[in-house]
Amino acid sequence: MTKHNNTTKPGGNGESIRTGMSEEAIRLAFLDNLFYVQGRFLEVASLDDKYKALAYTVRDRLLHRWVSTIRTYQQANPRTVCYLSAEYLPGPFMGLNLLNMGIEEPTRKALQSLGIDLESLIAYEQEPGLGNGGLGRLAACFMDSLATLQIPATSYGIRYEFGIFQQDIRNGEQVETTDNWLHYGNPWEVRRPQISYDVKIGGHTEHYTNEQGLHRVRWVPHETFRGVAIDTPILGHDVNTVNLMRLWRAEAAEALDFHAFNEGDYYGAVLREVRSETISKVLYPNDAPEIGKRLRLLQQHFFVTCSLQDMMRVHRTTGMPIERFHEKFTVQLNDTHPAIAVAELMRLLLDNHHLDWDTAWHVTRHTFAYTNHTLLPEALEKWPIPLFQSLLPRHLEIIYEINSRFLDEVRQRYPFDPDRAQRLSIIDETLPRHVRMAHLACIGSFAINGVAELHSQLLKETVLRDFYELWPEKFQNKTNGVTPRRFMLLSNPGLGSLLNETLGHGWETDLEQLRGLEAHADDPAFQERWRQVKRQRKEALAGEVHKLCGIDITPTSLYDVQVKRIHEYKRQHLNLLHIITLYNRIKRNPALDIVPRTFIFGGKSAPGYAMAKLIIRLINAVAEMVNRDRDVAGRLKVVFLPNFSVKLGQWVYPAADISQQISTAGKEASGTGNMKFSMNGALTIGTLDGANVEIREDVGAENFFLFGLDADAVSHTLANGYRPWDYYNANQELKDVIDLIASGFFAHGDRSLFQPLVDHLLQHDSYLLLADYADYIACQDQVSAAYRDPQRWTRMSILNVARIGKFSSDRTIAEYCRDIWKVQPVPVKLD
């Protein structure tokens, strides 16, 4: 509102209804779009019509900035970041675009004058669920920060027709339904039918000698598809930079197969088109990949080849020779999902541009950088050789050649250590043979990074240890961050206003400025306002919970929240052990004075992950028993929020008092929810895992509830014959909790339902719940004690926000720019 506000009247003095920023211009633009795009007038317009009319109004203004951005980049020809990610979870666009453009207030007023409530239009938007969890959301935070920092960048991915499934809870169970997010159309995207590339698959290769006597390779594919670009503008905060999220949609190479058509095979011709489109049809709903799925490898190859061909097209327009490709572009691999890019770039350089091997390899090795997001061995992608051979025969040849040259180097360096070459090889020779994508990524990249200090350290000591010994200079850490625009300003406007009043503007793009809050941490009047902000968000969440679950929760209770993907390592069931412990305590002693708590869960399980689904069932079963038990009423309540999403997160993070970050130490690479909660004044109960370690360091140990084994103790415990049974026998409260679950108490007497969960805990307990139980319970007791002292609690909450500055994704992106990408801001002036 500040800098862009343009009060000139449309018509009279030149403010266009396509670009004007005043209330009047926006009002006219809205009506114009409603009429000419939607073909509606106000009296008959549906919510969808009004939403679209506003979205187009905003989009016009985005396109204005986008065109200016492209012009600027064309003139300056800057070095450009290309982010390759199979997943993006950008969240709803409307609210953020209005906020970033600074036209929230004039828009609200313009709509008000037409009797329309802006919030209802914002609430109507369905978000693109083009990701599973942390990795996809991180990519979206990075887009926001790249644009805000005015860095030339394109984010490439797949425009899935069906995103992450919708989660319903029926009889306590997760039921998946398809996410038809495009059903009503997507006003934020612009299709670019003229930007499309061939995607070959299958077939064989032919080696031959050309007229000049040079060795050449021709890939004769079995099939060819096309990838078509669909662009979404991504605006930075308080700047004119609009970067692109360019997603690829698969189509048949020709709309219909005319050969088949002419043969009278109409049906076959149409089928071919349908089959092509399946490539970008649906997102794999696993947070860690399911290994060995053909379509998944196809998807990866599909978006990678389209993206690289697109970069080459842009590169041609600069007039630079192809040997300097890596000077124009720096390409970040978001996990191993796009790692095939290393072989694909080599293929394009060798077979299409006819570079010699060494030159092509030089370009490739200076183009890519690789971010690893996990230490879990089951999440490290590898592809069976026969599958790879059948889909990407030319790539496999290139990978063999890369590997053979690489292993020669390794053997030369370690002549007396043959095992090392085997461990480092791209090919896992244990039968059946596999291609290890993490190895391909490491060998083809000039930089390799983890996503939190601890994770980067463990990478060097464990899964990538041999690579670290070989190339220590390649390894870096880039601790994750999240965007304060979406997760503070937009989600928590009350907090935003209080911060603006206290600190002035500027903190939104320089989060370290929040330090200024420290001076107010003990001020009773400020504390009171702080509590009011939290209270207001807790009431708002209570409204949502009522809408979504029909459960009434009490805003004066402590909101104890765990929202994230459901996974054993994240230990939602440890949280349950605590809830049942409290339940038992009250049942034993009905007069017990405890701090009333509302436990809030949310998150999806991979559809094929039986144990995670059983955990969801147990959460809902415990909720059912607890919520209807009069003995605990007013003291305990348990809620499972169905279909957790970015949008729902925006209600949840600002309302939390306690944020549960309780993964087994060493398993969570970073976590980013931990940052979103803390930024909104929730206190963390957590283990020394992922970014928790650094959050605790910054906010201060006294403002963080720490419990549990650290990563070293976890490995030692597991290495030294861990016996969960001993913990069960030694702790009466723990025994009572486990026995109660085993008794069928939460399953209408059915002892078998939760048996697999109980058995696993007592016999294996690979994630050490029982080992951490006692410490967790004691720590939760400390949480309750602290909550009884509002002054102390509020001080801790204020200090969490004051010291969270490091966890802005602006800081993360600035570090990537400086240490990896070597790119500079390119400010954009509005034409």
Q: Report, in Å, the least distance between residue 138 CB and ligand H53.
A: 4
Q: Determine the Cα–Cα distance for residues 593 and 590; give it in Å rounded to an integer.
A: 9
Q: Quick one: 372 or 557, whose CB is closer to ligand H53?
A: 372
Instruction: Give yes or no for residue 659 binding ligand H53 (CB under 6 A).
Output: no
Question: What b/e string do you get for 200-232 counting C-beta neighbours within 10 Å, with b at 16 or more?
Answer: bbbbebeeeeeeeeeeeeebebeeebbbbbbbb
- Please name the residue that has the structure tokens 């790692």: 339
Binding segment for ligand H53 (CB under 6 A), chosen from 134-142, 341-349, 440-448, 804-812, is: 134-142
Q: Is 587 a catalytic residue?
A: no
Q: Determine the Cα–Cα distance for residues 322 and 330; give it in Å rounded to an integer.
A: 14
Q: Determine the Cα–Cα distance for residues 518 and 501; give it in Å rounded to an integer.
A: 15
Binding segment for ligand H53 (CB under 6 A), chosen from 29-37, 130-138, 754-762, 799-807, is: 130-138
Q: What is the DSSP letter of 669?
A: S
Q: Is 222 a catalytic residue?
A: no
Instruction: Give yes or no for residue 445 binding ligand H53 (CB under 6 A).
Output: no
Q: Is 373 a catalytic residue?
A: yes
Q: Determine the Cα–Cα distance for residues 29 and 35; give it in Å rounded to an integer.
A: 10
Cβ neighbours of residue 417 closer than 8 Å, sequence gap 6 or more: none
Instruction: Give yes or no for residue 458 binding ligand H53 (CB under 6 A).
Output: no
Q: Quick one: 240 or 812, whose CB is closer to ligand H53?
A: 812
Q: Quick one: 133 or 227, whose CB is closer to ligand H53?
A: 133
Q: Quick one: 230 or 669, whose CB is closer to ligand H53?
A: 669
Print the binding letters for residues 402-441 with ligand H53: x by CB under 6 A, - otherwise. Answer: ----------------------------------------
Question: What b/e string do you get for 325-342 counting C-beta neighbours within 10 Å, with b at 16 or more?
Answer: bbebbbbbbbbbbbbbbb
State which of residues 251, 335, 381, 657 lies at the interface with ligand H53 (CB under 6 A): 335
Q: Determine the Cα–Cα distance for residues 287 and 384; give it in Å rounded to an integer.
A: 20
Q: Determine the Cα–Cα distance for residues 228 and 676; give it in Å rounded to an integer.
A: 35
In DSSP terms, 10 is beta-bridged to 15
- Please name the residue that has the structure tokens 């400086």: 818
CA distance to 44, 91, 285, 393, 805, per residue, from 48 (Å):
11, 18, 28, 47, 38
Instruction: Give yes or no for residue 688 binding ligand H53 (CB under 6 A).
Output: no
Helices and strands (H and E) in the chain: how many: 33, 22
Instruction: Give yes or no for residue 671 binding ligand H53 (CB under 6 A).
Output: yes
Radius of gyration, CA atoms only, the chain = 28
State which of residues 451, 553, 662, 783 lies at the interface with ligand H53 (CB under 6 A): 451
Q: What is the footprint of ligand H53 within residues 473-502 (CB under 6 A)?
A: 480
Chain centroid, CA 630 distance in Å:
40
Q: Determine the Cα–Cα distance for residues 581 and 736; give it in Å rounded to an integer.
A: 8
Q: Quick one: 34 or 437, whose CB is closer to ligand H53?
A: 437
Torsion angle of C-alpha atoms 523, 525, 526, 531, degrees rounded to 10? 120
Q: Quick one: 133 or 681, whose CB is closer to ligand H53?
A: 133
Of 141, 106, 97, the C-alpha closest to 238 is 97
Longest alpha-carbon distance in the chain: 94
Please say whether the beta carbons of 98 and 104 come within 8 A. yes
Q: Report, in Å, the least distance between residue 54 CB and ligand H53.
A: 32
Instruction: Give yes or no for residue 139 binding ligand H53 (CB under 6 A).
Output: no
Instruction: Give yes or no for residue 306 binding ligand H53 (CB under 6 A).
Output: no
Instruction: Give yes or no for residue 288 binding ligand H53 (CB under 6 A).
Output: yes
Q: Is 547 a catalytic residue?
A: no
Please say whether the beta carbons of 560 and 657 come within 8 A. yes
State which of residues 670, 684, 687, 692 lies at the interface with ligand H53 (CB under 6 A): 670
Q: How many residues bind ligand H53 (CB under 6 A)?
A: 19
Instruction: Give yes or no for residue 138 binding ligand H53 (CB under 6 A).
Output: yes
Count of all residues that appear for the chain in the document? 831
Q: Which of 676, 760, 795, 803 is catalytic?
A: 676
Position with the least CB separation from ligand H53: 134
Q: Which of 598, 672, 794, 812 is catalytic?
A: 672
Q: Which of 436, 439, 485, 564 is catalytic?
A: 564
Instruction: Give yes or no for residue 299 binding ligand H53 (CB under 6 A).
Output: no
Instruction: Give yes or no for residue 669 binding ligand H53 (CB under 6 A).
Output: yes
Q: Quick one: 239 or 482, whose CB is closer to ligand H53?
A: 482
Q: Determine the Cα–Cα distance for residues 500 and 40; give it in Å rounded to an integer.
A: 40
Instruction: Give yes or no for residue 602 binding ligand H53 (CB under 6 A).
Output: no
Q: Determine the Cα–Cα distance for residues 132 and 448; give it in Å rounded to an integer.
A: 23
Q: Which of 570, 573, 647, 667 is catalytic?
A: 570
Q: Quick one: 746 or 807, whose CB is closer to ligand H53?
A: 807
Binding segment for ligand H53 (CB under 6 A), chosen from 40-48, 197-205, 371-379, 466-474, is: 371-379
Q: Report, in Å, the least distance between residue 335 CB and ligand H53.
A: 5
State which of residues 379, 421, 563, 688 lies at the interface with ligand H53 (CB under 6 A): 379
Q: Quick one: 438 or 623, whose CB is closer to ligand H53?
A: 438
Binding site for ligand H53 (CB under 6 A): 132-135, 138, 287-288, 335, 373-374, 379, 451, 480, 668-672, 690
Catalytic residue set:
373, 564-565, 570, 672, 676
